[in-house]
Structure 1
């Protein structure tokens, strides 16, 4: 066998794999710098600066990527506009997390280097998730993200909640990954390929196979196997985005993990999960790649007799409803935001279910806006927790008097999470509902209208538990009267996040144009 073509292809691919290589070597360098600077003064700031430098190099290399979509490493990785869009989100989330963690008390100074190095490996895994064009690559990159996340979740050594959260995360993540891999193995057995573009063609050809098998009485077995394999893959993706019924790890992990990493976990891996979902459901299951994108074939016309958009829509409705209803009774702010995160996964699934260009764009817009407002919300929790030592809602009484900036910024983020204009969250939800309502004008319109109504009612429910926090901050008397301090970097980020939420809420044009340019992805 001549291996020369494979070697040449890998060498060619390496030239466009430079952002990932920067993260790889940067993580190794951080481990070494952590040893060199172990006894140095201001080691946290030195390590944070080095981490930001690595992210900056990755960003510069990402900006130099070619405008045309291409496949790398013999079809394992896609270098296209969709991947680049999500990679920018990952870099932004990581850079903000580094700045937050450098001034947070959750990460002890002597362990800051390891934390940031492992964080870079998680970002590397998310880069690969966004670019994966092969079932095996999806699994490997998801595992890279998960293993790093398990470690960072239990990073508060000796903390019982952190240890419990990490153990639950490992057990649940291992089961979900195993189920996903099992489904992928059946997909490979049915189609003979693990490449997503080729998978789309062969799943389309399976319909003819099932027609022939029907005459021989084996059609039901082929159909059931295909349905089971897709459901199992959906389980792995649902675990990563914390969709019902794969959400049970989320509240405990969010509460037990260091809050800076909780903030990152709520936006980074979730966005990576939706990047994989877009590739899998809009690519591998959306019909023959040679036809027009989103032409109503394949997934839209039902695969194996199952209307998958409706299945995703049902998961969306259940996810947002369970997340919002459970959040009503929460008094711990991290758990409240965890259930809120589950609800927002449900909202985002509406765009995924729509199976249209508007639906795809709505997911990308919402993930961008969600990154800003959710990181901001967790930053407000960090500011309060570092002063009071508690994450209880009762510590937020009279916050507007003790920390006016934190209270005002938190109010902006909560209004945005609800989806109230003129905040950016309204723009995100507008496009999600637009994608669903566009489908409501076609076949099965009443079903899509019901999904839109469910989303609207859930948004109204979410206003109640967000309003509880607002009432505590602005209308109730504080336990203590002394002012609440916050690190300069945290105050700066709170102001910047608040401004961004307002700017994108009033003038979202740049974000909309950016996502519109990023819709194309490699389909073979």
Structure 2
């Protein structure tokens, strides 16, 4: 479809562009004390965009001369990104860290990141892949360093830029290799070219794809591309830390799934990497090792942390590893499992960070010592934090348990060669129990019991309920989410 025809299908992104421009112009017209109102402009705009995305046609359509694709798979991830952005935007209005800064630019940058993520989840062209990643990365660099007077925030932004530039360079080198080998930047044409190549080209293909994997690994915080994660998560505004832990990770997994399925598997048949004409390449082994190292290192290092944000940073690395467990199978069941897991992860991880924001607004601290006795002083906070920690561990009856259940079920269904991944994943879940419940222990069993009970601000309490209820309810009744994922996945299989 040519560019002019594509615009009629691109209206959610056009609406989002208009919202971003409106937010920037509105910020120019109001003083600093009212700049938080720009957040409500973005939130209202995102709700409108969500409605537009939901109402789009469900048939698969390639847009802008096959640079991006519109299908239920991309629609699913766009809605995940919008939901994360709306929740973080609302909490940002109450964040004490941002009080001294003009918030108009902050919300405008969040909108631009959302636009970049829309392109990421839809990209089927190497050039669009790189451009969308750079849009998200550059805006994220600025947001990570938004607390200009804070040394840790400046350090976070600098490290983010350095690691981001390094991984982008490696990925671009890999993309150029693929273009050189196939003569095309389009996923479908690349798949056909790779399928027709002889085994003598497989070494070059493997090296190119490993370099591309480095770019994906950076965005999802997979080992060894995770080094930026703890410092950036600790130094960035906590609202941005929460956002980076969910939205870009979802976008990167969507892009990674689409790339590996369409470029490596025959015709996007979802028959697993072993069904590909490139089945002789050791992709299942590479992804399995990457997943095991990622979740193991994330969990082991998280045990040693005294800062809650750093602990949750390594927790985020570990959860990337859990989701990566399903990648070697690359079947319909494994992709389904990753998508279900991401929905569950959104609520439980954002909820945990929202608790951190609430407590930091009260105490100004984010270490374990600052949490002593808060379960009695702020019982509501203590209860919801316990729910989030249970879910992140993967204990029933929470959403986290359902997410891990689907991951492990996909591995078991994948065959005997993946059973060891189930065992390693189970052991890692047990290890994570220590540092997650250390938070609960500190809040309820250390420090003095307070006779004064404090309640969080109404907006923060509301956002904690919005994240805690799905975390509990989806652990008991998850059928609507499962059905939605199935509709997205089935269409995805049929149209590739």
Query: Does structure 2 retain, via aligned residues, the 8 Å contact 1:223–1:304?
Result: no
2:160 & 2:274 partners in 1: Cα distance?
32
Q: What TM-score, normalized by structure 1, do the two folds share? A: 0.92
1:288 to 264, 267, 274: 267
Spell out, residue by residue over 1:307-362, the C-alpha distance to the aligned partner (whole angstroms, 9 max, x if none). Answer: 21221111001100000000011010000000000000000001222211110000
Correspondence for 1:397: 372
2:277 & 2:66 partners in 1: Cα distance?
27
Matches within 5 A, 1:168-183: 168-183=159-174
Structure 1 range deviating more: 498-507 or 337-346: 498-507
Question: Structure 1 residue 144: deviation in Å?
Answer: 0.3
Name stretches of at least 5 consecutive residues in structure 2 with no aligned partner: none
Correspondence for 2:8: 15
2:87 to 71, 92, 96: 96
Query: Does structure 1 retain, via aligned residues, the 8 Å contact 2:376–2:450?
Result: no
Query: Does structure 1 retain, via aligned residues, the 8 Å contact 2:144–2:156?
Result: yes
Question: Structure 1 residue 462: deviation in Å?
Answer: 0.1
Query: Does structure 2 retain, via aligned residues, the 8 Å contact 1:387–1:485?
Result: no
1:479 & 1:143 partners in 2: Cα distance?
49
Spell out, residue by residue over 1:169-195, the C-alpha distance to the aligned partner (whole angstroms, 9 max, x if none). Answer: 001001101111110111111111111
- Alignment of 1:85 with 2:76, yes or no, is yes
- Alignment of 1:228 with 2:207, yes or no, is yes
Spell out, residue by residue over 1:481-514, the C-alpha distance to the aligned partner (whole angstroms, 9 max, x if none). Answer: 6544422111011122111111100000000000
Tell me the secondary structure at the aligned position of residue 317 of structure 2.
Answer: helix
1:473 & 1:503 partners in 2: Cα distance?
24
Structure 1 range deviating more: 22-31 or 260-269: 22-31
Q: Structure 1 residues 87, 508: closer, same or farther in 2, change over 3 A?
A: same
Spell out, residue by residue over 1:21-64, the C-alpha distance to the aligned partner (whole angstroms, 9 max, x if none). Answer: 1111211211110011125x6441x2122111110221121122
Query: Does structure 2 retain, via aligned residues, the 8 Å contact 1:300–1:309?
Result: no
Q: Structure 1 residues 402, 196: closer, same or farther in 2, change over 3 A?
A: same
Tell me the secondary structure at the aligned position of residue 295 of structure 1.
Answer: coil
Which is greater in Rg?
1
Q: CA RMSD in A?
A: 1.6
Q: What TM-score, normalized by structure 2, do the two folds share? A: 0.97
Matches within 5 A, 1:406-417: 406-417=381-392
Runs of 4+ in 1 over 3 A off after TM superposition: 298-302, 478-485
Correspondence for 1:278: 257
Correspondence for 1:314: 289
Correspondence for 2:473: 503
Tell me the secondary structure at the aligned position of residue 68 of structure 1.
Answer: coil
Question: Structure 1 residue 301: deviation in Å?
Answer: 4.9
Query: Does structure 1 retain, via aligned residues, the 8 Å contact 2:376–2:449?
Result: no
- Alignment of 1:339 with 2:314, yes or no, is yes
Structure 1 range deviating more: 303-312 or 20-29: 303-312
Q: Structure 1 residues 113, 486: closer, same or farther in 2, change over 3 A?
A: same
Equivalent residue pairs, number: 494
